[in-house]
Each structure stands twice: as structure tokens, then as C-alpha cells.
Structure 1
């Protein structure tokens, strides 16, 4: 145990030097992402992350694996979500983990040379521990970075979908929902949720849903569309459909969906024109 503590102390003392040596060893020409940055702030943060890594990793010689990772996960989560690392190819990051692992094995060898009572068995045990922990770290980092990137991508897609299905207020309590492009089941569900929320927030009573820009629609999406219309009706929003393509009409018929309670116009211009006449007429009574 004394030898383990001594090794940890040696690595802690060597941490600043190890960071500088590691950074100088980076192949700035063939590397990518954060490792090639010329921005002083990025370089400083990269070195600080590496130095902090050395401080954490030195504890692996005096702590059990579970306790080590409970503490180390703080560093792991922070770096995995770092924007510079997210823009760096994962293979480059793995390569640097491996380089730092090699560096630690080298410093274990240097430590052993300073002490006559350190045997090859001690070195082998320490190297084995370093290799095992680094393997786990690499796997954890890849998993954490992938999960964070996937969640961020999902959020961006949700935002894009929400922006691609805006409820546009035309006047007072009248709005337009122009749907464009392919609509799959996931986007259809998002449109339903977003439209209900926007109509409630904007106090809409009449909503034009224009489908002329929808290229393709399947049975599940058609069903979701009618679910939207029914849900709008429940919150007091009357729907007016326009631009229904023959494919949608056919799909609706196959599903047994009825248009009887829905106002339909051949195109948006006609829908807006006819509805304005109805509004004017009703306002005169």
C-alpha cells in the first residue's frame, strides 16, 4: 500500500509535466478538432482538462474501482459534453486516450527506476490496472458522448419540426397551419402536440390546415391527421382543410375516415376567400 501511495504522489507531482509533454506530442497536422485549435482559450482549456485527468487517474492506485469511477464520472461527463470535443472525431479522441495511457505506463516505469524495491511484479500489476481503467474510460466516454449528441440531435429535430409546422395567426382568432414535405408518424405526432399547444396559447378558434405541400402520406399519418382535427374540435377549434391530394383522400377512404364534419376547400386561396365571406356575413347579424 505504501508503494501505491508513493506512486500516486509521484504522478501528482508529475502531472503538470505530463500535460505539457502530452500537448507537445500532439500531431497538429494529422489530428483533428480540439487538438488542432490555435485559439489560446481552447488550448488552455484542453490542457486544464488533461491536467485534471491526471489528478483523477492517480487515485486509481489507492481507491477501489467503484469509488474511483464515482469521482471520475464528474470529469467524464463534463468533457463528453464539451463543445470542442463534440466537434472532434471520436477516433481522434480515442487515439489520445491511448497516448495518455501509454504515457502513464511510461511514468510507472520511471517511478520504478527511482526505487530499488519496486519489482517487475509491482510494475505489471500497476500497468494492468491502468490498462483496465483506461479501457473502461474509453467505453464510458464514447457512450456518454454518443448519448449527449443523440439527445441534442433529438432536441434540434424537435425544434426543426416545430418550426416547420407553425400556427400562423392571420387575424384575431384565425390561423393557418401550412404543412410541407414528407410527414412520417413521428413528425405527425409532433405536429399534433405542437398545433394543440399553439392554438391554445394563441386562442385560435378557426384553423386552416393546408396540405398542398405534403408530398407523401401513409395510413398512420392520415390517422394522426384526423386525430389532430378531432383533438382541435375538443378544444373548440374548427378546422378547414385545403389542398387535399387524391392519395390522402384514397387513404382516408381505406381507413374509413369521414370528412363529413370537416370543411374542405380545393385550395387555400378558396378557403380564405370563402371563409372571409362567412365571417363578414356572420358579423352583420
Structure 2
């Protein structure tokens, strides 16, 4: 085991030069260029990785994984999500990194006189660490992607269904784009309570900006309208184009309880 301890000291003492060699090797082999700051961060991470690997060999702790590697993996995933990149752009670097680390550890093993078994042990250990890094990167990317999508959907729902007070007791709800179950639920959970807070007497639901409307969503919006009526708020519908009106008719929805007008201007004139 003396040779393993020698390799551990070697990795710790030469961590900086080895880290530079690894990063430069990956970039050169893959013909990629990254910002200098990102390159420095990668070198810093690999310095920590080499030192941690050396220490784990000295301590006999085969479960040790540097926290800096986990954080670096997560930051790589975060950068891809925020820039709209694909996870494959990161994953594709791992095979090359494995090859370079395998060659590096084999060279060190030869220089220090390690046996084939000891060299295999080092390679197995570094591959286990890389697997953890890869898993953390993918898992973080998936979590952040889901979070990003949810936030984007919520922002779109807020922008596409804003409640606009125009006079005391009167507000307009301009429906814009495509209405799906998520946005219909958003209206129910966010817009309806606001109508009560504003003490509205009339809510003008303007459909002129709607791209399409299926029967299921039409029924859902009708239920929301009935709920508002029970709260003492008169719902006025405007902007129903012929194709949207046809969807409402086909759904069997009873619209007799709702006043309908061609546009918001006509609705306001009649309300006043």
C-alpha cells in the first residue's frame, strides 16, 4: 500500500498543475472555448478534486466526494437552464474527461511504480466520483428546468389574464393567447379572490384576444362565471368571435345569464 500512499501525496502536492492539465486537455480535445472565468473555476474545482482524492486515499475513505465538485456540477446545470442550453452540452464532456483522467492516473501509476491492481483502483475511484458529478448535474438540470417552466407558466398566466380596474366597481379581464387548464385554474385561484377584494359589481371578460377555446375550457370558464355570480358580481362577456361562439354553443353552455357585447366599449356604455 506504500505506492498508494505515494500517489496520494503526489496528487495533493501537484494538484494545481494536474488540474490545469485536465482542463486544458478537455478543452483542446473537444475543440471548445469557454470564458476565462469559467476556465479558472474549472481549474479550482479540479485542484480541490485532486487534493480530495489524495486525502481519501490516505484516510481510506472511499466515499469522499469534494463538496466543491457537487456545487460545481449544480452550477453547470444552472448555467445551462438560465441560458436555455441543453444538458447534452455538459454531459458530452464527461467521456473525454474520463479518458484524460484515466491517462493521467495511469502515467502517475507508472512513474510511482503502482501495480496494475492499484492503478485500476485509482481509475475506479475517479470514475465513481465522475459518476456522482454527472448524476448531480443531470438531476439539478431537471429540477431547475421544471422550476423554470413552472415560473414561466405562472408569469405567462399573470400576463395573459390581468385584472384591470377601470372604474369603481368595474374591472376588465382581458383574456389573451391560449387558455389551458393551468391558466383557467390560475384565474380561479388568483383572479376570483381579487374581484372580491376590489368589491366589483361588474367584471367584463373580454375574449377578443383568445386564440382558441376548446369545450372543456369553455365549461370551466363558465363555472368560474357562475361562481362570480354567486358572489354578487355580474359577468359581462365581450369579444366572442364566431368560432369561439360556436364552441360555446357546441358545449351546451347556457349563456343566458351573461350579458354579451361585441366589445368592451359597448359593454361599458350599457353598464353606465
Same fold (TM over 0.5): yes
Comparing 118-127 with 190-199, greater Cα deviation is found at 190-199
Indicate yes or no: 2:104 matched with 1:110: no
CA distance in 2 between partners of 1:16 and 1:168 (Å): 60
CA distance in 1 between partners of 2:53 and 2:170 (Å): 62
Tell me the equivalent position of 1:13: 13
What are the within-5 Å matches in structure 2 for residues 32-181 of structure 1? 35-37=33-35, 41-56=37-52, 61=57, 62-65=60-63, 68=65, 73-82=70-79, 89-116=86-113, 118-181=114-177
Counterpart of 1:166 in 2: which secondary structure?
A: coil
C-alpha distance 186-84 of structure 1, shift in aligned 2 (>3 A): closer
- 2:212 alignment partner, one of 211, 216, 219: 216
Conservation of the 8 A alpha-carbon contact between 1:19 and 1:47: yes
Counterpart of 1:181 in 2: which secondary structure?
A: strand
In structure 2, runs of 5+ residues without a counterpart are: none
In structure 1, runs of 5+ residues without a counterpart are: 277-285
- 1:239 alignment partner, one of 235, 241, 256: 235
Q: Deviations over 1:183-241 (max 9, x none)?
A: 22233222333322443454444211011222311111101211221333344433211
RMSD: 3.3
**Shift of residue 175 of structure 1?**
1.2
CA distance in 1 between partners of 2:255 and 2:270 (Å): 18
Count the aligned residue pairs: 269
C-alpha distance 95-180 of structure 1, shift in aligned 2 (>3 A): closer
**Shift of residue 126 of structure 1?**
2.3
CA distance in 1 between partners of 2:201 and 2:45 (Å): 55
CA distance in 2 between partners of 1:12 and 1:232 (Å): 69
TM-score (norm 2): 0.80
TM-score (norm 1): 0.77
**Shift of residue 127 of structure 1?**
1.5
Q: Deviations over 1:140-171 (max 9, x none)?
A: 41232133123213211220221121111212
